[in-house]
């Protein structure tokens, strides 16, 4: 009976609920309270992780043989994800102290929802009972809705869209959980072990998977992410869609693949692999042509989920470990990127890439953090994104050479999508770095200043984590990933990547380069000169080339052009399409309800006839 | 301690910095000499590339006022360090026949580093010409990355899922239809990575006045030139190891394979006009992509039916 498990769940939940109803005049309290609670939950999460396996059970309700017990247990997987989720909560709270400034209107609502998110995700990660997991899952969904609405103009639309899509997937979760209960007779996660041989378990699996990948933001139910990315505050995007939603979604996916179901079905691994590969490549293609910083980042948040899903789909130890490690890495660098984006937006007053440029000189810390995170997400060695992608590739190759089955036979396709997607990610981030930090400074941005300390600290911490997890990747793998997945260390990875040695050698190489530079500097002085314009007098504005048109060659290529225009108009958005279907249905109902008595009478008579036919059993 | 010293010797002297630079400058002399012969000229003396670098070292370093100076200065160093690591790694694996630093995936990713450094450096130089160069270089990278990945997949199929470069170098994938296709396309990718005609789109002297390198001068330009010379060592060596069975038993056959690739690269360079970037993208994505899709299919069929020459 470890009561410690209760605190990180219920302390933030209660405090958050109270804060929601606090009048907005009391501003200081909500911040102080959120900061204190997030520090406490983070500390407790570390304690829970170091404690190892611990359980707490409290019988809430008993109807017949149906038991609703609040079962909290710290499994290795849940505990390590909990630690990171709480860590992100703390960093975002710190960042919000300045980014959600005193001028913001709904401060208490914001902080209350942050606390609800923290508590809810702790609940999901600790609960061992499917119904409680569902309740906490809903709390996180609702708090996401609340958080997006704090974004001001137009954010209501985005919040509604997110809520509708995630809510629909939550309905799938509910249905899936009920099916699992019917099939296995229990709600306790650790007791469930269903074979995926017949139709019903497969449907249950697909329903649960839908919920997991919608939360994580994989295709085809991804469209809530870019919409909210455009309107929600950057800190919200960094907290939920970038970090915690990924952790939760992939956590659920791993739980259902590794724990609740015996994952042997060929069809299911094929479905997962297709979702993974398609998500990687399609989302990154869309991301490349975006003009809005936050929207671009949101599309990458979708694309990266593909690697996690693909890694899990391979079913090989190295692939699954890589997928889970990628989840962790992604949360780190994408959170950092969104925070950098938020800093840029706050400092420059816009998130449109066309209007930015040359900010690297004005905001060196933000630039450095953003560059490291961008290189990580593009999979440049020796940063962390490379390691997990490399593991996923190995998983795909191992699947292709060791397994037989539909998904295994098609491994070249998955590998191509994954590796080529990585190159496109690099392209997209080159555009981002060029447009924001390099290139030239527009005249309007001459007075931009670096953001304040509470905003810098989270970015720097996350950027350092990117480097650490990349250079010393054995540490997180041995500490968190392998124990969580019950994999024997040293057996999974079969490639070679001596990251520490490589980093040392790169540093030596840079040192050698510096030596050459030094010789050059001793020979002659450095001279600062204006940009060479081939003798033409040009104003600063004329010389700015924003990166937004870098990839016009791609978007205007025959064949791709039509797809891009269709995407721009929302033809491939399930939300829009189902919205249209719904509209068609209501129009039909409207047409039926014309108010004409003869019409109603006709329907009534027809209905009566049908009932008569059925009742009399004429056919 | 001895291990650290050993690594230090490897990276600085042999087969690292000194060796690679010397070899690279020699290779770039071969490139210039053979090009001259093709064009019916005499060509430069043996030490010309070396003189060029030394002369550049003595020139003034000009830094544009508006540039992001830290990145502008650091980019060439990082690029050179990346190529140095790649070269050292490949030579060590060739010599010792064991895994060192990384496998084939790592090698493919390390090959991106010089292009990335070039992109960041030129982007930081705040010149409109350089910006055009940045965009072109990046598009070039993403164009050849697709066929390169497919060629890599052919190799993986042919070698039975090996990632270790030393083990891959034991086999000769190019001795089959799919392997040969993959080799030829990978050769074109290397051509593009080296920035040689017909893929010198990002530098295009006649259009964007050296594009990516426009603002570089003095020792910084010397570092770029050294980096390009070192790439002349590492990239053909990678092809030799992956497709042509490595150095094998004797040094001379290995060098022969290396020279063969170098000559092929030079001939392609001297017999083709520069492409536009959209042409290059179409070429790599559609034509090379299609050729390699066929190659991958053939390789898979060959693998299943046990026909090695497919």
CB contact under 8 A, B149 and A420: yes
Q: What is the pLDDT of residues A368-425, one digit of tens each?
A: 999 999 999 999 988 999 999 999 999 999 988 887 777 788 888 999 999 999 999 9
The structure tokens 């380069």 sit at A513
Of A416, A502, A508, the CB nearest to B149: A416
Kindly tell me if the per-residue pLDDT of A263 is higher than 80: no
Task: Tell me the residues of chain A between 524 and 563 that have a Cβ less than 8 Å away from chain B.
Answer: 524-534, 540, 543-545, 547, 549-551, 553-554, 557
What residues of chain B lie within 8 A of the CB of A516, using their CB?
57, 219, 222-223, 226
Touching check for A397 and chain B: CB below 8 Å?
yes
Give the predicted TM-score (pTM) of the model: 0.91
What residues of chain A lie within 8 A of the CB of B113, using their CB?
380-381
- Chain B interface disruption, residue of A357, A375, A392, A440, most B CBs within 10 A: A440
Task: Tell me how far apart the 2 most distant CA atoms of chain A are, in Å.
Answer: 106
Touching check for A441 and chain B: CB below 8 Å?
yes
Task: Tell me the residues of chain B between 1 and 30 that have a Cβ less than 8 Å away from chain A.
Answer: 7-8, 11-12, 17
DSSP string, B81-135: HHHHHHHHHHHHHHHH-S-BSB-HHHHHHHTHHHHHHHHHHHHHTT-HHHHHHHH
- Chain B interface disruption, residue of A314, A399, A495, most B CBs within 10 A: A495
Number of A:B CB contacts under 8 A?
259
Q: What is the dihedral of CA A337, A340, A341, A345, to 10 degrees?
A: 180
| A291 vs A272: CA distance, rounded Å | 31
Touching check for B206 and chain A: CB below 8 Å?
no
Give CA angle at B66 (B61, B68), nearest 5°. 75
CB contact under 8 A, B106 and A509: no
Of B102, B105, B132, the CB nearest to A545: B132
Which pLDDT score, from 0 to 100, does residue A489 have?
Answer: 81
Stretch (H or E) spanning A60: strand A54-63
Q: Which residue has the higher pLDDT, A492 or B252?
A: B252
Burial A229-263 (b: 16+ CB within 10 A, else e): bbbbbbbbbbbbbbbbbbbbbbbbbbbbbbbbbeb
CB contact under 8 A, B215 and A426: no
**How many separate domains does chain B show?**
1
What residues of chain B lie within 8 A of the CB of A547, using their CB?
131, 134-135
Which pLDDT score, from 0 to 100, does residue B14 have?
Answer: 80
Which pLDDT score, from 0 to 100, does residue A175 have?
Answer: 92
Does ipTM exceed 0.90? yes
What residues of chain A lie within 8 A of the CB of B11, using their CB?
505, 508-509
Average pLDDT of every residue of chain A: 86
In sequence order, which ranges of chain B are alpha helices (DSSP H)? 2-12, 17-38, 48-57, 69-96, 104-110, 112-124, 128-158, 165-168, 177-194, 205-208, 218-243, 251-271, 277-282, 289-305
Which neighbouring-strand residues pair with A529? B64
Measured between CA atoms, the residue of chain A closest to residue B209 is A534
Select from A250, A343, A236, A251 the least CA-distant residue to A304: A250
Share of residues in chain A with pLDDT > 90 (%): 25
Q: What is the pLDDT of residues B179-225, one digit of tens each?
A: 999 999 999 999 999 988 888 887 777 777 777 888 888 888 999 99
CB contact under 8 A, A495 and B103: yes
What residues of chain A lie within 8 A of the CB of B215, using their CB?
531-532
Please tell me the total number of residues recorded for chain A in this structure. 619
Give the tokens for residue A306: 């593909």
What residues of chain A lie within 8 A of the CB of B300, using their CB?
412
Coil, helix or strand at residue A13: helix
CB contact under 8 A, A497 and B59: no
The structure tokens 């190295």 sit at A318
Burial A429-448 (b: 16+ CB within 10 A, else e): bbbbbbbbbbbbbbeebeeb
CB contact under 8 A, A496 and B101: yes
| B215 vs B213: CA distance, rounded Å | 6
- Neighbouring CB atoms inside 10 A of B260's CB total 14
What residues of chain A lie within 8 A of the CB of B62, using their CB?
526-529
Please say whether the beta carbons of A77 and A250 come within 8 A.
no
B209: closest CA of chain A, how far (Å): 9
CB contact under 8 A, A397 and B163: yes
CB contact under 8 A, A381 and B110: yes
Share of residues in chain A with pLDDT > 70 (%): 99
Residue B22 forms part of a structural domain: yes
| A261 vs A604: CA distance, rounded Å | 49
Touching check for B264 and chain A: CB below 8 Å?
no
What is the C-alpha end-to-end distance of chain A, expressed in Å?
63
Which pLDDT score, from 0 to 100, does residue A459 have?
Answer: 92
Q: What is the dihedral of CA B281, B282, B284, B286, to 10 degrees?
A: 150
Give the tokens for residue A70: 């609040």
CB contact under 8 A, B141 and A423: yes
Task: Tell me the residues of chain A between 474 and 493 that have a Cβ less than 8 Å away from chain B.
Answer: none
| B200 vs B212: CA distance, rounded Å | 11
Touching check for B103 and chain A: CB below 8 Å?
yes
Which pLDDT score, from 0 to 100, does residue A103 have?
Answer: 61
Residue B310 forms part of a structural domain: no
| B300 vs B294: CA distance, rounded Å | 10
Touching check for A112 and chain B: CB below 8 Å?
no
Residue B46 forms part of a structural domain: yes
Coil, helix or strand at residue A319: helix
Measured between CA atoms, the residue of chain A closest to residue B105 is A390
Which neighbouring-strand residues pair with A74? A54
- The whole-angstrom distance between residue A213's C-alpha and the CA centroid of its chain comes to 10
Give CA angle at A445 (A439, A449), nearest 5°. 105
Coil, helix or strand at residue B61: strand
B42: closest CA of chain A, how far (Å): 31
Q: What is the pLDDT of residues A6-57, one digit of tens each?
A: 888 888 899 888 888 887 777 788 888 888 999 999 999 898 888 878 888 8
Coil, helix or strand at residue A221: coil
Give the tokens for residue B82: 């990346």
Of A520, A531, A557, the CB nearest to B64: A531
DSSP string, B134-152: HHHHHHHHHHHHHHHHHHH
Which pLDDT score, from 0 to 100, does residue A619 have?
Answer: 55
For CA atoms A519, A520, A522, A528, the dihedral sign is negative
Enumerate the domain spans of chain A. Answer: 265-493, 496-524, 574-616
Give the tokens for residue A267: 């069809």
Touching check for A505 and chain B: CB below 8 Å?
yes
Per-residue pLDDT 10s for chain B (310 aa) are 677 888 888 888 888 888 999 999 999 999 999 999 888 999 899 999 999 999 888 888 888 888 888 899 899 999 999 999 999 999 988 888 888 888 899 999 999 999 999 999 998 888 888 888 888 899 999 999 999 999 999 999 888 888 888 888 888 888 889 999 999 999 999 999 998 888 888 777 777 777 788 888 888 899 999 999 999 999 999 999 999 888 877 888 889 999 999 999 999 998 888 888 888 988 999 999 999 999 999 998 888 888 877 7
Of A393, A416, A517, the CB nearest to B105: A393
B85: closest CA of chain A, how far (Å): 6
What residues of chain B lie within 8 A of the CB of A494, using their CB?
163
In sequence order, which ranges of A221-358 are alpha helices (DSSP H)? 224-231, 234-237, 245-254, 266-288, 293-314, 317-348
| A595 vs A607: CA distance, rounded Å | 18
What domain range includes position B20?
Answer: 2-305
């Amino acid at each position: 009976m470890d009561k410690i498990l209760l605190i990180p769940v219920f302390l933030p939940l209660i405090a958050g609920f109270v804060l929601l109803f606090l009048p907005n005049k009391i501003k200081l309290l909500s911040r102080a309270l959120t900061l204190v609670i997030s520090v406490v939950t983070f500390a407790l999460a570390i304690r829970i992780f170091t404690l190892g396996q611990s359980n707490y059970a409290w019988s809430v309700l008993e109807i017949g043989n149906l038991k609703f017990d609040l079962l909290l247990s710290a499994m290795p997987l849940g505990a390590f994800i909990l630690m990171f989720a709480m860590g992100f909560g703390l960093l975002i709270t710190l960042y919000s102290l300045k980014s959600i400034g005193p001028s913001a209107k709904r401060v208490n609502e914001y902080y209350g929802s942050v606390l609800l998110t923290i508590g809810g995700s702790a609940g999901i990660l600790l609960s061992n009972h499917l119904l409680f997991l569902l309740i906490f899952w809903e709390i996180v969904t609702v708090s996401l809705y609340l958080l997006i609405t704090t974004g001001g103009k137009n954010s209501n639309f985005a919040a509604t869209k997110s809520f509708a899509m995630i809510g629909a997937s939550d309905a799938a979760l509910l249905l899936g959980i009920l099916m699992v209960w019917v099939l296995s007779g229990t709600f306790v996660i650790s007791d469930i072990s269903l074979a995926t041989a017949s139709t019903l378990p497969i449907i249950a699996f697909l329903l649960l998977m839908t919920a997991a990948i919608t939360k994580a933001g994989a295709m085809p139910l991804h469209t809530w992410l870019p919409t909210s990315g455009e309107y929600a505050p950057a800190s919200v995007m960094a907290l939920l869609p970038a970090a915690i939603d990924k952790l939760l979604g992939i956590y659920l996916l791993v739980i259902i693949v590794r724990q609740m179901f015996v994952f042997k079905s060929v069809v299911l691994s094929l479905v997962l692999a297709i979702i993974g590969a398609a998500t990687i490549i399609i989302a990154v293609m869309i991301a490349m042509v975006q003009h809005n910083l936050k929207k671009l980042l949101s599309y990458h948040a979708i694309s990266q989920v593909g690697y996690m899903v693909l890694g899990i789909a391979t079913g090989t130890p190295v692939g699954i470990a890589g997928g889970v490690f990628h989840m962790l890495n992604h949360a780190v660098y994408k959170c950092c990127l969104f925070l950098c984006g938020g800093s840029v937006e706050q400092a420059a007053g816009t998130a449109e890439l066309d209007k930015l440029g040359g900010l690297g000189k004005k905001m060196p810390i933000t630039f450095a953090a953003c560059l490291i995170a961008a290189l990580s997400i593009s999979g440049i060695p020796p940063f962390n994104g490379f390691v997990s992608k490399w593991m996923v590739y190995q998983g795909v190759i191992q699947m292709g050479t060791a397994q037989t089955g539909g998904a295994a036979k098609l491994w070249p396709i998955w590998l191509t999508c994954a590796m080529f997607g990585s190159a496109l990610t690099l392209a997209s981030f080159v555009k981002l770095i060029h447009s924001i930090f390099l290139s030239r400074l527009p005249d309007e941005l001459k007075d931009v200043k670096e953001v304040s300390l509470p905003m810098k600290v989270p970015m720097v911490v996350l950027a350092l984590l990117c480097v650490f997890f990349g250079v010393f990747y054995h540490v997180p793998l041995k500490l968190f990933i392998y124990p969580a997945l019950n994999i024997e260390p040293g057996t999974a990875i079969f490639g070679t990547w001596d990251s520490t040695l490589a980093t040392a050698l790169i540093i030596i190489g840079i040192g050698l380069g510096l030596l050459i530079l030094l010789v050059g500097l001793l020979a002659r002085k450095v001279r600062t000169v204006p940009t060479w314009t081939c003798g033409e007098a040009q104003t600063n504005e004329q010389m700015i080339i924003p990166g937004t048109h870098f990839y016009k060659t791609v978007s205007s290529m025959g064949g791709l052009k039509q797809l891009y225009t269709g995407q721009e108009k929302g033809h491939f958005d399930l939300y829009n399409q189902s919205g249209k279907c719904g509209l068609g249905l209501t129009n039909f109902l409207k047409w039926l309800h014309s108010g004409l008595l003869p019409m109603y009478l006709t329907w009534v008579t027809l209905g009566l006839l049908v009932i008569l036919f059925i009742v009399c059993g004429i056919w | 301690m001895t291990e650290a010293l050993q690594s230090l010797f490897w990276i600085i002297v042999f087969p690292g910095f000194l060796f690679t630079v010397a070899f690279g400058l020699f290779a770039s002399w071969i490139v210039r000499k053979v090009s001259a012969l093709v064009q019916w000229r005499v060509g430069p003396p043996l030490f010309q590339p070396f003189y060029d670098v030394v002369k550049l070292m003595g020139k003034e370093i000009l830094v544009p006022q508006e540039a992001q100076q830290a990145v502008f200065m650091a980019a060439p160093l990082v690029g050179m360090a990346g190529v140095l690591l790649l070269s050292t790694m490949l030579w060590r694996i060739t010599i010792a026949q064991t895994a060192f630093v990384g496998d084939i995936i790592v090698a493919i990713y390390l090959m991106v580093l010089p292009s990335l450094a070039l992109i960041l450096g030129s982007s930081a130089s705040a010149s409109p010409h350089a910006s055009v160069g940045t965009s072109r270089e990046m598009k070039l990278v993403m164009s050849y990355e697709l066929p390169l990945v497919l060629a890599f997949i052919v190799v993986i199929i042919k070698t039975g899922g090996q990632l270790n470069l030393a083990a891959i170098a034991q086999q000769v994938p190019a001795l089959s239809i799919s392997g040969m296709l993959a080799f030829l396309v990978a050769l074109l990718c290397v051509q593009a990575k080296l920035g040689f005609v017909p893929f010198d789109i990002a530098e295009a002297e006649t259009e964007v006045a050296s594009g990516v390198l426009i603002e570089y001068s003095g020792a910084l330009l010397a570092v770029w030139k050294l980096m390009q010379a070192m790439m002349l060592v590492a990239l053909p060596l990678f092809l030799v190891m992956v497709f042509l069975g490595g150095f094998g038993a004797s040094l001379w056959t290995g060098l022969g394979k290396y020279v063969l690739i170098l000559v092929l690269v030079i001939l392609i360079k001297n017999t083709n006009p520069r492409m536009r970037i959209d042409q290059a993208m179409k070429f790599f994505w559609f034509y090379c992509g299609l050729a390699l899709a066929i190659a991958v299919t053939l390789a898979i069929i060959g693998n299943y039916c046990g026909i090695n020459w497919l």
